[in-house]
Amino acid sequence: MDYLLQGLLQAFRLLVSGDPETYSAVAATLKVSSYAMAASLLMGIPLGFVLGHLRFPGRRQARLVVDTLLSLPTVFIGLLVYSFISRQGPLGHMGLLFTLPGIAIGQTLLALPVVIALTATAVESMDANLRVTLRSLGANRWQLMRDTLWEARHGILAAALNAYGRVMTEVGISMMVGGNIKWHTRTITTAIALETNKGMFAMGIALGLVLLLIAFGVTATMSLLRRK
């Protein structure tokens, strides 16, 4: 137990002293997760509304595909993105391999099914009379979607929180697509894995504490928004 206590004390020293290597991983994580969440929410919320609100041929099959993608392994997503953005891939000319935008693409694919599925579930659980009421008040299609999503906002917040949790804690995509390059594409999770394998428990614990603080901050913010 002594080495755990020593690692915890050293971790606090690293955080308080502003260790540049530690905060470089933190900055990369926040940047790439912000890109991924922005893209997944912009695409996922409208698609979730369509899937949960409209009735169209193939809807049940589409929902089955989305629900299946919820359990897609991160290493498979990493492999898929790597094959597309590597030099031999169709997007290789864009130079996305071993970059933060490249990682963000993979994390968007990871978060998107979560946002779509949970948004669709939130929309489906709305009162069936809501659509009739909005139509009777003269709402057009845009207003119908806007007001329905507003009524389902708590479910959408839960979708965003779940998606952010998956993005923040994944390792496979960041390792395969980003390459875990120091000062460049090394994120919190890949740094924890690397430093722990090297026996550098202090760095791993420090980054783990930061990860917990970020998770707590996001959860507290979502809770505050839900109460308001």
Domains and CATH numbers, the chain: 29-192 (1.10.3720.10)
Mean pLDDT, residues 47-52: 93
**The pLDDT of residue 186 is above 80:** yes
pLDDT in tens, 54-72: 888 999 999 999 999 998 8
More confident residue, 157 or 139: 157
Mean pLDDT, residues 132-161: 83
Contacts of 105 (CB under 8 A, 6+ apart): 81, 85, 96, 177
**The pLDDT of residue 46 is above 80:** yes
pLDDT attached to residue 83 = 94
Percent of the chain with pLDDT over 90: 45
CA distance 197 to 81: 26
What six digits make up the tokens of 220? 């507290």
CA distance 137 to 132: 9
**The pLDDT of residue 147 is above 80:** yes
pLDDT attached to residue 163 = 93
Grouping H, G, I as helix, E, B as strand and the rest as coil, residue 157 is helix
Confidence of residue 220 (pLDDT cuts 50, 70, 90): confident
Percent of the chain with pLDDT over 70: 96
| Summary mean pLDDT of the chain | 87
The number of beta carbons lying within 10 Å of the beta carbon of residue 79 is 16
Confidence of residue 1 (pLDDT cuts 50, 70, 90): low
**Is the separation of the CB atoms in 137 and 195 below 8 Å?**
no
Grouping H, G, I as helix, E, B as strand and the rest as coil, residue 204 is helix
CA distance 10 to 32: 27
**Is the separation of the CB atoms in 29 and 168 below 8 Å?**
yes
pLDDT in tens, 8-39: 777 777 777 888 888 898 899 999 999 999 99
pLDDT attached to residue 199 = 76
